[in-house]
Amino acid sequence: MATTATLIPGDGIGPGITAATLRVLEAAGAPIEWDEHVAGMAAVELGQDPLPQETLDSIEGTRLALKGPLTTPIGSGFRSINVALRKHFDLYANVRPAKTILPKARYPDLDLVIVRENTEGLYAGIEHFIGMDKDPKAVAESVMLITRYGSDRIVRFAFEYALQHDRERVTLVHKANILKCTQGLFLEVGRHVAEEYEGRIRFEEKIVDNTAMQLVLDPYQFDVIVTENMFGDILSDLVAGLIGGLGFAPGANIGTDAAIFEAVHGSAPDIAGQGIANPSSLVLAACLMLDHLDEGGLAGRIRTALEETLREGRVLTPDLGGEAGTEDFVSAVIDHLARDVAAV
């Protein structure tokens, strides 16, 4: 029986890579029916709220969504709809697997996962200006919110993820040497949770700046990284760079009652409308969704077809050094899917 999922094509390159991803899912026979809705700029352009109630209602019903990138105005304008969605559905775990699938990648066979806390930290959005003399913006203040509850559930999530995915190690990344209260609490709770998994999953702790350097020098020493919101945001882009760029990084936002899957990259306004975006990240996000639906076999077939297309190197988008458009790239992936089925 097909599962219904909410579909948000998104802004910029979003609609193009979403259409491409749906073609791949359809060709693979994925049992998903879509309930399509808008959010972000696409909603504003239709005269709606950037996060329309209908979109929220749909996810409320399906508890499952695939989302293209959404544009967030910089400095002013509406707040990030991605952050709002994570908060609304309490999607507290952001899971970003980074696996090398590009041939001739700088770090071959890299396979690590960042589990980022998704609702707290500086992204809780508790910030304000303090006026002085005649300057209403003389000081800006932002609160890094870390709770025992939030730290406990994200570290626990990382350990459970490690167990379920046959991973060996969880590294907790922090800055408790400087931020003794907030980061100190995160570390304290993390150490406590780790004790429960002793003998099953190895636990390590690392300061964030050192982690950034170690990731570049020797990323193979990491397996599952768990960290707070902003460090996770920055490190997951760094790690995406290690495997060849944001074009290959999918993300899953998981809560107790809902899950939203997305490409890690943004709406790429510089190439929007040109039909040349690389759809791999959203295709891989859809694979994470299939894993979530216990359709790991289908997800595996799609990942293999994508890897074969990249390895063959005949039809590649410009970010990969090729000249093909999104549609041609996806057609090549679908050809590989069909060939793989014929070979079985």
Task: Please identify every residue annotated as catalytic.
Answer: 123, 175, 209, 233
| Count of residues interacting with ligand NAI (CB under 6 A) | 21
Which phi-psi region, left, alpha or beta, contains residue 56 (left: φ > 0; alpha: ψ -120 to 50)?
alpha
Question: How far is 285 from 250, CA to CA, in rounded Å?
Answer: 5
Identify the residue among 102, 268, 299, 316 touching ligand NAI (CB under 6 A).
268
Asked whether position 77 contacts ligand NAI by CB under 6 A, the answer is no
Identify the residue among 77, 108, 269, 296 touching ligand NAI (CB under 6 A).
269
> Which of residues 184 and 241 has its CB atom nearest to ligand NAI in the complex?
241
Shortest spacing between CB 4 and ligand NAI, in angstroms: 22
Shortest spacing between CB 243 and ligand NAI, in angstroms: 14
Encoded one letter per residue, x for contact with ligand NAI by CB under 6 A and - for no contact, window 315-344 reads ----x-------------------------
Give me the residue whose beta carbon is nearest to ligand NAI. 266
Q: Do residues 230 and 121 make contact, with C-beta atoms less than 8 angstroms apart?
A: yes
Asked whether position 55 contacts ligand NAI by CB under 6 A, the answer is no
Shortest spacing between CB 10 and ligand NAI, in angstroms: 6
The stretch near ligand NAI (CB under 6 A) out of 18-26, 99-107, 187-195, 269-277 is 269-277
Identify the residue among 9, 16, 69, 325 touching ligand NAI (CB under 6 A).
69
Asked whether position 83 contacts ligand NAI by CB under 6 A, the answer is no
Shortest spacing between CB 161 and ligand NAI, in angstroms: 21
Shortest spacing between CB 118 and ligand NAI, in angstroms: 12
Asked whether position 262 contacts ligand NAI by CB under 6 A, the answer is yes
The stretch near ligand NAI (CB under 6 A) out of 44-52, 64-72, 163-171, 330-338 is 64-72
Identify the residue among 6, 21, 278, 309 touching ligand NAI (CB under 6 A).
278
Residues that bind ligand NAI (CB under 6 A): 13, 17, 69-72, 82, 246-247, 262, 265-271, 277-278, 281, 319
